Amino acid sequence: GENVEQHPSTLSVQEGDSAVIKCTYSDSASNYFPWYKQELGKRPQLIIDIRSNVGEKKDQRIAVTLNKTAKHFSLHITETQPEDSAVYFCAVEPAGNKLTFGGGTRVLVKP
Amino acid sequence: DAEITQSPRHKITETGRQVTLACHQTWNHNNMFWYRQDLGHGLRLIHYSYGVQDTNKGEVSDGYSVSRSNTEDLPLTLESAASSQTSVYFCASSPGRSEAFFGQGTRLTVV
């Protein structure tokens, strides 16, 4: 089955700095790559996603890049703010529509 | 508005008891998933379904079962609850290769 590795597991940044989280996957047939944010005590919610026919996607301060050849994709958060503090999960969906998650990254933005 | 709901939100049960967690979605999604979330392990897939009468095992399915008799519901049953099954359980639904929507989660404690 699909294997998704996510790094780092924790990330501490100063407010205003950038944060980058990277995920690698194993199934070359995967074609959908979402990122979810989970605030403390809440459910995961989609923040951005990318499909295999696109190399980069941006939405305000967040962006995702995809390298299908190397089988990795990354989440970039610029100008971090305290409300960006949360756990972020990458996920991969191969052709069989089974969503598999990475282990999560706990991001702490220090004011 | 369409939604996905889980019940109960909190449950305490004794070792060896059978427990059923409910998940109900009004998105009319074919794909439904059950995950468990433990500290340090992210979201691990227990069971999933692509439609009525379809069920499949995920990576941590031992001790759990599901049934899908209609589009809206995917109840998760713990046949004989064990302390290792103390966790937060999330149900999700998705149309496939698009945003997955999560329920609020059920915190299960097995004593």
Taking only the tens place, the pLDDT of each residue in A40-50 is 999 999 999 99
**B1 Cβ contact partners less than 8 Å away, ≥ 6 residues apart:** none
Any B CB within 8 A of A88 CB: no
Instruction: Note whether A67 and A84 are within 8 A (CB).
Output: no
Any A CB within 8 A of B100 CB: yes
Amino acid (1-letter code) at residue A33: F
Average pLDDT of chain B to the nearest whole number:
95
Instruction: Tell me what pLDDT residue B96 has.
Output: 81
Instruction: Please determine, for residue A54, whether its predicted confidence score (pLDDT) is greater than 90.
Output: no
Which residue do the tokens 């992210």 mark? B42
* Residue range B25-62, pLDDT digits in tens: 999 999 999 999 998 778 999 999 999 999 999 999 99
Instruction: Please determine, for residue A63, whether its predicted confidence score (pLDDT) is greater than 90.
Output: yes
Chain A contact probe: residue of B43, B44, B45 with most A CBs at under 10 A: B43
Q: Which of A19-23, B12-16, B35-39, B62-66 has the lowest mean pLDDT?
A: B35-39
How far is the alpha carbon of B75 from chain A, nearest alpha carbon, in Å?
18
Cα B10 to chain centroid, rounded: 14
Contact list, B99 vs chain A (CB under 8 Å): 34, 46, 49
E-strand ranges in B8-81 read 10-13, 19-25, 31-38, 42-51, 54-57, 64-66, 76-78
Closest CA to A87 of B48, B42, B31: B42
List the single residue in A34, A89, A98 with the smallest CB-CB distance to B48. Answer: A98
* Residue range B69-98, pLDDT digits in tens: 999 999 999 999 999 999 999 999 998 878
Sign for the CA dihedral angle at A20, A108, B41, A61 comes to negative
If you measure CA to CA, which chain B residue comes closest to A37? B102
Task: Report which DSSP code applies to B69.
Answer: S
